[in-house]
Amino acid sequence: MKKALKIREQVNEIAAFRKKTIEAAEKYLIGFESLIDDILTCFLAGGHVLLIGVPGLGKTLLVRVLSRIWGLTFSRIQFTPDLLPSDITGTEILQEKISKEKRVIREFEFQKGPIFANIVLSDEINRTPPKTQSALLQAMEEKEVTIGRRTFNLPAPFMVMATQNPIEMEGTYPLPEAQLDRFFMSLNMKYPESSQEKEIALLSLDNQKTLNSLKSIEKPQNIMKYSDLIESVVMPESVLEKIVQSVRNTRPESGHSFAVRFGEYGAGPRASQYLVRASRTKALLLGETIVTEEIFEKVYYNVLRHRIILNYAALSEKISVDEYLSDCLMK
C-alpha cells in the first residue's frame, strides 16, 4: 500500500513537471504545446528526436528554451558538406607544458567537441556526408565517444535533436536506415495558425537577453529520477498485442493487404520496444500508471514514421507514410 502511494506521488510529480515545462516554454514559444509534449516524452524515455520542418519555424529557439528550462547544457552543430567527424567529437591537440623539472614537454590533450553536452542540436543533419553523419552513431547508441584508444562518456542525460529541411533535396545526403532507426521519434513541425502567427510577429527578434534570465524549473538529477519510474507503468496484454500486431502489419511479408500493395520495408522489432517505452512514458506524463490504447495511439505515428519505406506504387498514388500507418494500425 505504501509503495503504491509512493508511486502515485511520483507520477503526480511527473505530471506536474510536464505542466510546468509547457507553461514556462509558452512564454517564449507559441503554438508548440503538442511538440513540446512529444519532445518531453522522448527525453524522459532516453531517446533522440528527428525534427522535420522548413527553415524559420523556431527549431533552434525551441531546443535552447527547453535546455534552459531543464537546467541542461546545450550545443548546436551546423552540418555542412565540409564538416569533419572531429568537428563533432573533438580532437587531440599537441600542447606544450612545463614539467616539475622546468622542462618543456609536449603531449597530446583531448579537446572535447560540441557533442559533449546534454542536448545537442544537429542542424540540417542531411547536409553532411555519411562519414560525418556516422560520428553520431556511437554517441546516440552507447552514450560515449571513442577517440583513438580512449573512450569518453557523454554527460547524462544526453539527447540528440536533429533537424531536416523537407523541401530541399539538392546537395543533401539522406540518412542511412541504420541511423534513422536510432532516432526514437520523428516529429513534423508545421506552420502556426493565423492567430498564433500574429503573436509571433510581435515578438522581439532579440531573444538572447530574455533567454539569459530564464531559470530552470527542475534539477537535472531529479529529471533523471523520473525515468526510473517508466518500467513500473502497467502494460496490459491487450495493448501489447495491439502494439506488436500494428508493427507487424507494416511489413509486406506479414500479408497485410495495404502493406503488400504499398510497402517496401516495414518497421523492425526495435520499433515495438520503442512503442512500449514511449507509451509508458506518455502515460506517466499524463498522470497515469497504466497504458491505454488511446495513449499508445498518441505515440504510434511519431515512433514509426521514419522506419517505413514505401514502394513506387505508393509514391505514384501519393500515399503518405501517415496514411500507410493509419491503415496498418490494428483496429
User: 115 lies in a domain?
Assistant: no
Q: Among candidates 315, 207, 326, 202, which has minimal Cα distance to 262?
A: 315
User: 272 lies in a domain?
Assistant: yes
Q: How many domains does the chain have?
A: 1
For residue 301, the SS3 value is: helix
Do the bridges between strand 119-123 and strand 74-78 make them parallel or antiparallel, or are there none, so unpaired? parallel
User: 187 lies in a domain?
Assistant: no
CA 281 to CA 256: how far, in whole Å? 29
Q: Is the pLDDT of residue 110 over 70?
A: yes
Question: pLDDT band at 45, cuts 50/70/90?
Answer: very high
User: 44 lies in a domain?
Assistant: no
Q: Is the pLDDT of residue 210 over 80?
A: no
Name the phi and psi angles at 100, rounded to 5.
Answer: -60, -30
- Give me the residue label for grid cell 514502394: 311
CA 210 to CA 175: how far, in whole Å? 35
Share of residues in the chain with pLDDT > 70 (%): 93
User: 256 lies in a domain?
Assistant: yes
Q: What is the CATH number of the domain that holds 245?
A: 1.10.8.80
Q: Read off the DSSP letter of residue 234.
A: B
User: 31 lies in a domain?
Assistant: no
Query: What local confidence, expressed as pLDDT, does residue 2 receive?
Result: 62
Beta bridge partners of 145: 152
In this structure, what C-alpha cell is assigned to residue 37? 509534449
Domain coverage including residue 316: 229-331
User: 289 lies in a domain?
Assistant: yes
CA pseudo-torsion sign 29, 275, 44, 116: negative
Question: pLDDT band at 190, cuts 50/70/90?
Answer: confident
Q: Is the pLDDT of residue 273 over 80?
A: yes
CA 73 to CA 70: how far, in whole Å? 9
Identify the burial level of 47 via C-beta atoms within 10 angstroms of its C-beta, where 0-12 means exposed, 13-18 middle and 19 or more buried: buried
Identify the burial level of 50 via C-beta atoms within 10 angstroms of its C-beta, where 0-12 means exposed, 13-18 middle and 19 or more buried: buried
Question: pLDDT band at 208, cuts 50/70/90?
Answer: low
Higher-pLDDT residue of 297 and 105 is 297
Identify the burial level of 299 via C-beta atoms within 10 angstroms of its C-beta, where 0-12 means exposed, 13-18 middle and 19 or more buried: buried
